[in-house]
Amino acid sequence: MLDIDWTTEEPAVTAGQLLVVPLRSGHDPEAITQRFGAAVRDAVARVPFAGKPGESFAFTRERDGVIQHVTLMGADALTEPASLRQLAHDAAREAQRVGASQLVLDLHGADGLPAEGDDALRVGNLVAQGVQLGTYVYDRFLSESNRRPSSLRSVTAWGRSAAPTEGSNRGRIVADAIARARDLGNGPPALVTPSYLAQVAADMVAALAAEGHDVKLTVLDADECKARGMGCFLGVGQGSDEPPKFIHLAYSPKGESKARVALIGKGVTFDSGGYSLKPTDGMLDMKLDMCGAAAVIGSFEGAVRLGVPYELHALVAAAENLVSGKAYKLGDVLTASNGKTVEINNTDAEGRLTMADAMVYASKLEPALMIDFATLTGACIIALGPRIAGVMTNDQALHDDWMAAAARSGEDMWRLPLPSNLKEQLKSKVADMRNTGERWGGALTAGLFLSEFTEGIRWMHIDIAGPAMASKAYGVTTPGASGVPVATILELLSGPIQLEQS
């Protein structure tokens, strides 16, 4: 873990140090002259360097007998959470590129950065998240000769106040939770099986309990799930030799709980599509079809360490969706644990089946609200692109709380409707419903399918099919699993939630 501190005094120049100075578009060239000299100003002008995000100008200088690396880094308004987090992330990446062991992030001259109060805590949180995520790499399966250990050991943020220091610890916890989710998503499917997720949950609970937290784990095997009538979940997993696991993590806060909250994550650890078989290109990233599960597991760990004031239940119905003589087939009818029957017209619409039984299980806990997270539909990516999560709920208060948390966290979300007239598409002649509707509006009919299993509990559905996985780096995201929306979940659970539906 990086050593992160804040200071109001210019840090002394030391060997192995990188100084990063953010500059916005329209910056005054004479400010560069005053600080670094006319030669640097003229060199910047020749590049040219406009101060846009992604642009940088690097040089070295000698001060007090020491060579210091300096990078001028383009940045948007640092009052925007995503911009501040990305600046810190990019600065950490640059430090590793030049082999620096210490990063000095110059924020003392940045316009609009707060110095005190809650905003200062937010700044400390976002900067710590950014620099720590800037060191993230999944290298478990790289040989030693191909690993590139991080050179960065410490970060000093030079600001107008040291007040953000208090927020740094929160940022570290959030970044660790995101990294946990990324590691689970990036692991190969032969490693990250339902049994592996259950073991990770067990190890996590043991570690948290040893720290004095009130946490519990329940893992249901196939027979126990059958006894509970989870026919939809078990139908998805029956084609694999890997046994399905239903994982239930529970946490009680030290003080009086404000409410009980259930988080449900899609845990299909590999999705071949079943008999509605995916093509090779569509299957390559399907180890990432459990990113919803990874998000709620990572968020559970972070929420416990942050000491959120809610009783928390994280639920994962983990299974593989494979093809075999035992696999469920097109035309099969499965029965969910609330008694509803589902005709299967697409075995590649499996996530909603596993989530249906998980939602019914969650409802029996009588939570004040439940939120599900799933890489559910390609249709959501078509609607919103690869970087924005779709938010579906008819609960305005819950939506508003979630979107405010997302804005504070710098994660992109957009509301999609749940039009009741589209439920017509889910009608079946042989069962209570089908598991898919028509192609058009597929993200919406998936949400409408899930709405049949809320059992009267306040509910919100987050389709993370786009932002949960990245084909290339952007923002604070590296290729592979992104850890979205862990930061938003933790922000929501750390603040007041409206406990009445509107």
Residues 99, 102, 103, 109, CA torsion sign: negative
pLDDT at 440: 93
pLDDT at 114: 55
- Convert the pLDDT of each residue in 274-286 to its tens digit: 999 999 999 999 9
pLDDT band at 78 (very low <50, low <70, confident <90, very high): confident
Of 228, 278, 340, 387, catalytic = 278
Judge whether residue 289 has pLDDT over 90: yes
Question: How far apart are alpha carbons 139 and 161 in whole angstroms?
Answer: 37
pLDDT band at 178 (very low <50, low <70, confident <90, very high): very high
Lookup result for tokens 């078990």: 234
Contacts of 78 (CB under 8 A, 6+ apart): 22, 84, 87, 107, 110, 111, 112, 113
High-pLDDT (> 90) share of the chain, %: 90
pLDDT band at 115 (very low <50, low <70, confident <90, very high): low
Judge whether residue 98 has pLDDT over 70: yes
> Coil, helix or strand for 460?
strand
pLDDT band at 486 (very low <50, low <70, confident <90, very high): very high
pLDDT band at 478 (very low <50, low <70, confident <90, very high): very high
Give the pLDDT mean for 183-199. 98
pLDDT band at 108 (very low <50, low <70, confident <90, very high): confident
- The question of whether 254 is a catalytic residue gets the answer no
Judge whether residue 80 has pLDDT over 70: yes
Contacts of 437 (CB under 8 A, 6+ apart): 422, 425, 426, 445, 448
Of 85, 172, 352, 408, catalytic = 352
pLDDT at 28: 86
Give the pLDDT mean for 448-473. 97
pLDDT at 76: 87
Question: How far apart are alpha carbons 110 and 310 in whole angstroms?
Answer: 36
- The question of whether 278 is a catalytic residue gets the answer yes
Q: What token pair was written down for 438?
A: 């028509």
High-pLDDT (> 70) share of the chain, %: 98
Give the pLDDT mean for 45-56. 90
What mean pLDDT is reported for the chain? 95
Give the pLDDT mean for 70-81. 92
pLDDT band at 110 (very low <50, low <70, confident <90, very high): low
- Convert the pLDDT of each residue in 247-263 to its tens digit: 999 999 999 999 999 99
* Residues 73/23, Cβ–Cβ less than 8 Å: yes
pLDDT band at 111 (very low <50, low <70, confident <90, very high): low
Q: How far is CA 144 from the centre of its chain?
A: 28
pLDDT band at 186 (very low <50, low <70, confident <90, very high): very high
> What structural domains and CATH numbers belong to the chain?
3-157 (3.40.220.10), 174-494 (3.40.630.10)
pLDDT at 394: 97
Is the pTM of the predicted complex or chain greater than 0.75?
A: yes
pLDDT band at 116 (very low <50, low <70, confident <90, very high): low
- Convert the pLDDT of each residue in 210-250 to its tens digit: 999 999 999 999 999 999 999 999 999 999 999 999 999 99
pLDDT at 501: 87
Residue 498 vs residues 25, 114, 253, 362, 410: alpha-carbon distances, Å: 39, 27, 19, 20, 21
Judge whether residue 131 has pLDDT over 90: yes
Residue closest to 439 by CA, chosen among 356, 313, 349: 349
Strands 260-271 and 311-321: parallel
- Convert the pLDDT of each residue in 388-421 to its tens digit: 999 999 999 999 999 999 999 999 999 999 999 9
Kind and range of the H or E run holding 356: helix 351-363
